[in-house]
Amino acid sequence: MTTRHVGEVYSPDHARYDEGARYAYSGGAHELVLFWGAPTPAEVDGFRIRPMEVGLFTHGPVGFLLYKIKDVCEWSDVAFNIHLIPESQRELPNEEPGDRARLRMVLVDAEDGVIRAKRIVSLDKVMTQAIKQAMVEQAAAGFNRVIYEAAVQDVYSRYVDSDALANIADVIEPALG
Q: Is 5 a domain residue?
A: no
Per-residue pLDDT reduced to its tens digit, 123-136 = 999 999 999 999 99
Give the structural domain span for 67.
Answer: 20-175
Q: What is the 3-state secondary structure (H, E, C) of 20-70?
A: EEEEEEECCEEEEEEEECCCCHHHHHHHHHCCEEEEEEEECCEEEEEEEEC
Higher-scoring residue by pLDDT: 86, 177: 86
Q: Is 4 a domain residue?
A: no
pLDDT band at 177 (very low <50, low <70, confident <90, very high): confident
Per-residue pLDDT reduced to its tens digit, 60-98 = 999 999 999 999 999 999 999 999 999 998 999 999 999
Q: Report the pLDDT averaged over residues 134-152.
A: 96
- Residue 28 is predicted with a pLDDT of 85
Q: Is 71 a domain residue?
A: yes
1 pLDDT exceeds 80? no
122 pLDDT exceeds 70? yes
CA distances 153 to 83, 146, 162, 169, Å, are 18, 11, 13, 17
Q: Is 161 a domain residue?
A: yes
Q: Is 133 a domain residue?
A: yes
Q: Is 141 a domain residue?
A: yes
**In the chain, how many domains are there?**
1
Query: What is the pTM assigned to this prediction?
Result: 0.93
Q: Report the pLDDT averaged over residues 45-67.
A: 97
Q: Is 1 a domain residue?
A: no
Q: Report the pLDDT averaged over residues 128-157.
A: 96
Q: Is 8 a domain residue?
A: no
pLDDT band at 2 (very low <50, low <70, confident <90, very high): low
- Residue 108 is predicted with a pLDDT of 97
